[in-house]
C-alpha cells in the first residue's frame, strides 16, 4: 500500500478537500497533493497531523480493516534480572564458585589475580 493513496482514500471517504486538510494540519495544499500522488513521503510527525485532521487513529493510515490488526506473538522482553550476569542459571553457579575460591585466597594472591585480569582486559580492548 502506498501511503499517499491511503491518505487520499481516507480524505475522500470523509468528504474533505485538500484545502480542508490544509486548514486542519497547517500544511500547504500543494504539499498535501505531493504526498497523495506519491512524490513526497511524509515523516512521522506529518502522518500524525494527517491522522488528527482525518480524525482517525494512526494505525488506520497503514491498515484498512475496521479493527486494529492483531499483534503477532512477540518474544517476551528480557527483564533487568535476565540481562545481569550471574543472577541465574549457570552464570549464578559460576559466580558462586568464584566467590568461594576468592574467599579462600589471601590478599596478595587476590591482588595478583586482579592485576592479571586488568592486563587481559586491557589487551583485549586494544
> Is the whole model's pTM more than 0.75, yes or no?
no
Task: Report whether CATH 3.30.365.10 matches the domain 3-61.
Answer: no
DSSP helix/strand/coil, 57? coil
Q: Which stretches of the chain are DSSP H helices?
A: 3-13, 18-25, 29-36, 44-54, 80-83, 89-104, 107-125
Identify the pLDDT of residue 124: 83
Residue 1 has pLDDT above 60, yes or no: no
Report, as an integer, the average pLDDT of 19-28.
94
> In this predicted model, which residue has the larger pLDDT, 14 or 80?
14
Q: How far apart are the C-alpha atoms of 63 and 26, rounded to whole Å?
A: 25
- Would you say 84 and 78 are in contact if contact means Cβ atoms under 8 Å apart? no
Q: For the packed helices 3-13 and 29-36, what is the interaxial angle rounded to 10 degrees?
A: 120
pLDDT digits (tens, 9 = 90+) for 25-83: 999 999 999 999 999 999 999 999 999 999 999 888 888 777 777 777 777 777 776 67
Identify the pLDDT of residue 62: 86
Q: Report the share of the chain in percent with pLDDT over 90.
A: 53
- Would you say 22 and 33 are in contact if contact means Cβ atoms under 8 Å apart? no
Identify the pLDDT of residue 84: 79
Domain segments of the chain: what residues?
Answer: 3-61
Please classify residue 53 by burial: count the beta carbons closer than 10 Å to its beta carbon, then call 0-12 exposed, 13-18 middle and 19+ buried. Answer: buried
Amino acid at each position: 500500500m502506498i501511503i499517499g493513496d491511503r491518505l487520499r482514500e481516507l480524505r475522500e471517504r470523509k468528504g474533505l478537500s485538500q484545502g480542508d486538510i490544509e486548514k486542519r494540519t497547517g500544511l500547504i495544499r500543494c504539499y498535501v497533493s505531493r504526498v497523495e500522488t506519491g512524490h513526497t513521503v511524509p515523516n512521522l510527525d506529518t502522518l500524525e497531523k494527517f491522522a488528527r485532521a482525518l480524525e482517525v487513529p494512526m494505525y488506520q493510515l497503514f491498515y484498512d480493516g475496521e479493527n486494529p490488526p492483531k499483534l503477532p506473538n512477540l518474544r517476551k522482553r528480557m527483564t533487568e534480572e535476565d540481562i545481569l550476569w550471574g543472577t541465574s542459571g549457570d552464570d549464578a553457579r559460576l559466580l558462586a564458585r568464584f566467590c568461594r575460591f576468592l574467599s579462600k585466597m589471601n590478599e596478595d594472591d587476590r591482588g595478583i589475580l586482579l592485576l592479571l585480569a586488568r592486563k587481559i582486559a586491557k589487551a583485549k580492548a586494544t
